[in-house]
Structure 1
Amino acid sequence: MQKAVFPISSHADVTKVISFMHTHYTKALEENKPLVVRIDQKQEDRSKAQNRLYWMWLTQWAKHQGNDKESEHLYFKKKFLSVIFNRDDVGQYKNTFAAVKVLKDQNHPMYEQVANGLNDLISTTDASVDQFTEYLNDIHAFCLKHGCYLNTPDDLMYAWEMKQ
């Protein structure tokens, strides 16, 4: 039997879990492999779920573009994550972005090389849960706007939904 994960945020979700167990418990007992149920709470840190969803989406987008996910990772960091880090003054990014902007404004011949090197150094692990959620939302909206709906498995839906 394939593992199933059910995020529960309403009574209807509880009903789905019970229905799944009713459907599969007899077969599991016949095979002498009883079902095991684990209950856990959503993690509030930059979770493995967010990371899994991120790389799943990068793979989908890269396939849509005919590109590789590493290139798309760099593209989205530059397009969205750098903006979030600059706005929120994360680490030393804001100062570094300002220095690179000076090179751009001066039409310095090393601008592109320095900017690309900085983009390589921007790390998604520096993002808070809220920042990474915003980043995921930005990516989802961008891809949708450009003709690619990013599929999200039910067990990862909470990883990118904006907090209220």
Structure 2
Amino acid sequence: MNTFILSTPQVKANCIAFISMLNAGTDQIVTIKNKKESRSDAQHRLRWMWFTQLEKQLAGVGRGRDKKGWNLHFKHKFVPEILIAQDEDYVAVFDVYKESCKALQQVSEKALKQYQKGFWDRVISTKDMSVKSMARWLDAVDKYVLQKYQVVLITPDDLRWLRE
């Protein structure tokens, strides 16, 4: 199997040359699809580094959030808009979530809290974000923390390229 990521005109030319060498009438299939790139390991590391920093610097803020609490807070605050911009199918996901919350609110506060926790912990994941979407989320978190808490989130030298 051969895979070509059309990143340069030369790669495109190589792909065309490769396809032109194939014999017609054979049982070969040529498939073209968009590359889906999920968030990078470097972005993941930076995220947890920042939330650990917030856990230490803002102990007691936001009902004593730990790093997982900060993650959940910022997922809830910024992820819906970013995921919808990335893939419009998420509109339906968040519409169902809102309707379910309304229905559960009428039944039981405990059931509502369990549903909300499960949704944000298990259904909505930054793993579903592209590298570009994850960069938007990290930027939103960084700006919000600076504006609201006057905390400069530290980006170490080896991860500085993520911010450029």
TM-score (norm 2): 0.62
Please point out which of 48, 57, 73 is paired with 2:41.
48
Q: Check 1:119–1:70 CA distance in 2 against 1; reply closer, same or farther (3 A cut).
A: same
Q: Which residue of 1 aligns with 2:15?
A: none
Contact kept, 8 Å, 2:79 with 2:137, in 1: the verdict is: yes
Q: d(CA) in 2 for partners of 1:118 and 1:130?
A: 23
Which secondary structure state, in structure 1, belongs to the residue aligned with residue 160 of structure 2?
Answer: helix
Given the alignment of the two structures, is residue 158 of structure 1 paired with residue 152 of structure 2, yes or no? Answer: no
Secondary structure, in 3 states, of the residue corresponding to 1:76?
Answer: helix
**Alpha carbon RMSD of aligned pairs, Å?**
2.2
Please state if 1:113 is matched with 2:114: yes
Verify the 8 A CA contact 1:58 1:72 in the aligned structure 2. Answer: yes
Preserved contact between residue 74 and residue 141 of structure 2 (Cα < 8 Å): yes
1:103-135 deviations in whole A, cap 9, x for unaligned? 445543444432222111211111101000000
Match of 1:144 among 136, 143, 146: 146
The SS at the match of 1:75 is helix
1:48-127 correspondence runs (5 A): 48-66=41-59, 67-89=65-87, 93-105=90-102, 107-108=105-106, 109=108, 110-121=111-122, 122-127=124-129
Distance 1:159 1:95 in 2: 31
Report the CA distance between 1:88 and its aligned residue: 2.9
Q: What CA deviation, in whole Å up to 9, does each residue of 1:43-79 have, x standing for no partner?
A: x863221111111111111212213111111111111
Contact 2:84 2:91 in 1 (8 A): yes
CA apart distance, 1:96: 2.4
Partners of 1:111 and 1:89 in 2: CA distance: 27
Q: 1:148 is paired with a residue of what secondary structure?
A: coil
CA distance in 1 between counterparts of 2:98 and 2:43 reads: 31
Quick one: distance in 1 between partners of 2:114 and 2:85?
23
CA contact (8 A) 1:62 1:69 kept: yes
Counting matched residue pairs gives: 117
Deviation of the 1:83 alpha carbon: 2.3
2:46/2:155 contact within 8 Å kept: yes
Query: Which residues of structure 1 form unaligned runs of 5+?
Result: 1-43
Determine the structure 2 residue equivalent to 1:34.
Answer: none
> What is the percent sequence identity of the aligned residues?
37
